[in-house]
Structure 1
C-alpha cells in the first residue's frame, strides 16, 4: 500500500513539473515604434489642451467666452446681455424724465418763492399814504418781480421741452416691454404773462383788489404755480420709483450673467500654474522616451 502511494505521488510530481508555464512576453526593441514616447505625447496634448482653456479664462475673465466653450450657456448669456442693454436704454429714458421733472419743479419752486415779495409790494402799494415817488418805485419793483417770474417759467426748459408752458403729457419708455410713464405739464406761463401785463402803475385801490382776490390775475398765477408744484412733484416721485426698480432689475440680471460666464480667476490661476508644471514634466518625459532608441546603437558598437 505504501509503495502504491509513493508511486502515485511521483507521477503527480512529474505531471505538475511537466505542466506548461507561460513566460512573460518580452518587449521588442525597435526603432520604428516608441510606445513610451506615444504615451508621453498623448499626455502632453491633453495637458496643453487644458492649459489653453485655462489660459483663455485668465486672459478674458470668462469661463464661457464664446459658443465654442459652451454653446447653450453662451446662448443664454447673449440673451441676458441683450436684456441688460435694453434695461440700460430704459434707464436712459427715465433719467431724461427725471431731468425734465426736476427742471420744471425747480422753475415752479423759484416762482413760488417770489410770491412773498410780490405780495409785500402789493401791500406797500395798497397804502394810500405813500408819496408818488414811492408809488413809482414800488410799481417798478412789482413789475420787475412779475417779469422775473415770467422769465423763470420760460427758462424752465429741459432738452427743448418746458412743462410749465403747456399741459401736454410727455411720455418716456418705462420698461423693456414698451410701457411708458409720463410727466404732465402745467401751464403756468399764461397766468404769469397775464399777471405781468396787469401790473406796472397800480393805484392803492387796484393794489387792494389784488390782495383781496377781487382781481383774479394773481390768484390764477398762484393756483397754476401750486398745481405745477404738486403735479410735477408727483410725476417725479413716480419716475424715480420706476427708475430705481429698473436699476434693481438690471443689477440682478448682471449678477445672473456673471454667475453664468465669469471665471473664478483665483481658481484658474492656481490651475494654470499646476498645468504649466505638468506641461514641463510631460515635455521631459518625451525627451526621455525619445532617447530610448539611441540605446540600440550600443548593440552595434
Structure 2
C-alpha cells in the first residue's frame, strides 16, 4: 500500500468503527434511562405509532374506569336510601297491623305512620350524589348514563320513583278503605268504554280507545275532572293485557296504587283516600267501593314498588361492578402488550453495555495506533 501523510485510511476506518460504537452506547444509555427500546419515532416509526395508539386506549380506559367508579358510587347512594325506605315500610306495616286491633288509640299510631312517611320523603330527597338522585322521580335529574367502554358504549340507568307519591303512601290513612275490581272471563272491553274513579275531590275518567279513535269523554280540569286515554287492541290483546294498560295509566297519570292479583281481583288504592267507582264497561267487571284494608293494601303495594326499585338499582350496580373488573383486566392486558412492543430487556441491555464499552476502548486504542502509523514515514527521510 502507498504511504501518505494526506490520507490515513486506517485511521478513518478506526474512527468510523469508534463512532458506531459510541452511537450504540448512546442508544443503550437511553434505553437504560427510559426503560424503553422504542422511545421515539426514530427508533422504529411503525412500532412507535402502534404504541402511541395503545397508550391512547389505556388512557381512555382509565377515564372509563373513573366513570364506572362514579356511577357505582351514585348507585350505592341510591341503594342505601332505597334500603332505608324499605325498612321504614316494614315498620309502617307493623303500625297498620296494630291499628286493626280493637282498643288501641289509632290516632297515636297514625301520628307515627305520618312521621314515617315524612322520614321517607327526607331519605329520598337526601339520596343525591354529585347532583344526581336516582330515586327521586320529582327531582331535576332524569336518570344516569355511564360510559362503559371504548367506542361510546354506555349503560343507561333510569330514574326510579321512591317518593311517597310514587309508592302510593302520600297521605296514608291507617284505617282507610279501598276499591276492588273483580274481573271474570265475560269481560268485554271496546272502544269508548270507561272506568271512573272519584277521590280527593277529583274525578279521573279512563276511556278505552282503539287505533286513532278520538276520546268521547269531556274533561273539566278546572273543576277537577280529568280524562285519560287507555289504548287497546281488541284483536291482538287479551283482556289481561288491556287491564294491564289500564293499570299503567292509573298509576302514572292519576297516582293510584294498583295491585293485580292472580285471582282476577284488582285492588285500587288512592293513598288512604276513599274512592267511588263508576263502571262503564259492558260486562265482566264488578266494582266494590269501601272495602276494608286500604292502608294495608297501600303499604303492601309500596313494598312491592320499593322491591322493584331495589332490584333495578341492584342489577345495575352489579353490572357496573362487573364492567369495572373487566375494564381493569382489559387495561392490564393492553399495558402488557405495550410493554412487549416497547420495553427494553434490561438484562440484554446490560450485556450489550459491557460489550460496547469494551469495543469503545479497543476502538480508541486502534485509532491511536492508526494515527501513529504516519509517524513511521519520517524514518524514510533520515
TM-score, length-scaled by structure 1: 0.76
- Pick the aligned partner of 2:83 from 109, 113, 120: 109
1:89-128 alignment, distance < 5 Å: 89-128=63-102
Residue in 1 aligned with 2:136?
A: 165
Q: Distance in 2 between matches of 1:193 and 1:119?
A: 14
1:214 to 290, 294, 315: 294
Among candidates 282, 307, 312, match of residue 226 of structure 1: 307
Change (3 A) 1:166 1:290: same
Following the alignment from structure 1 to structure 2, what is the Cα–Cα distance between the partners of residues 287 and 145? 97
- Secondary structure at the aligned position of 2:52 is classed as helix
Q: Is the 8 A contact 2:89 2:299 kept in 1?
A: no
How many angstroms does 1:54 deviate by?
1.4
Report if the CA contact (8 A) 1:97-1:183 is conserved. no
Q: Distance in 2 between matches of 1:106 and 1:250?
A: 30
Structure 2 counterparts to residues 107-256 of structure 1, below 5 A: 107-130=81-104, 136=108, 138-166=109-137, 168-191=142-165, 195=169, 197-198=171-172, 205=175, 213-215=293-295, 216-256=297-337
Indicate the structure whose relative CO is greater, using CA pairs within 8 Å and at least 6 residues apart: 1
Query: Is the radius of gyration larger for structure 1 or structure 2?
Result: 1
The DSSP-based 3-state class of the residue aligned with 1:62 is: coil
Change (3 A) 1:213 1:63: farther
Assess, with a 3 A threshold, how the Cα gap between structure 1 residues 193 and 227 changes in structure 2: closer, same or farther: closer
2 CA distance for matches of 1:221 and 1:156? 18
Q: Which residue number corresponds to residue 9 of structure 1?
A: none
Q: Which residue of 1 aligns with 2:233?
A: none
Residue 229 (structure 1) shift: 0.7
Q: Are 1:165 and 1:190, in contact at CA under 8 Å, matched by a contact in 2?
A: no
CA–CA distance in 2 between the matches of 1:298 and 1:197?
A: 122
Structure 2 contact 92–299 (Cα < 8 Å) conserved: no
Do the aligned partners of 2:120 and 2:163 also contact (CA within 8 Å) in 1? Answer: no
Query: Equivalents in 1 of 2:62, 2:293: separation in Å?
Result: 50
Rounded to whole Å, the distance in 2 between the matches of 1:44 and 1:213 is 100
SS for the counterpart of 1:195 is coil
Task: Name the SS of the counterpart of 1:181 in structure 2.
Answer: strand
CA contact (8 A) 1:63 1:263 kept: yes
Are the counterparts in 2 of residues 174 and 181 from structure 1 also a CA contact under 8 Å? yes
**Per-residue deviation, residues 218-266 of structure 1 (Å, max 9, x unmatched):** 2343222111011111222223333333333322222222211111122
Report SS of the residue matched to 2:313.
Answer: helix
Question: CA contact under 8 A between 1:107 and 1:156: conserved in structure 2?
Answer: yes
More strand by share: 2
Please list the CA deviations of residues 14-55 of structure 1 after superposition, one character each: whole Å capped at 9, or x if unmatched: xxxxxxxxxxxxx44433233332222111011111112211
From 286, 289, 292, give the equivalent of 2:370. 289
CA contact (8 A) 1:94 1:243 kept: yes
Tell me whether 163-172 or 42-51 shows the greater mean CA deviation.
163-172
Report the equivalent of 1:16: none
- What is the TM-score normalised by the length of structure 2? 0.61
* 1:65 is the counterpart of 2:39: yes
The alpha carbon displacement at 1:69 in A equals: 0.5
Q: Which ranges of structure 1 fall in alignment gaps of 5 or more residues?
A: 1-26
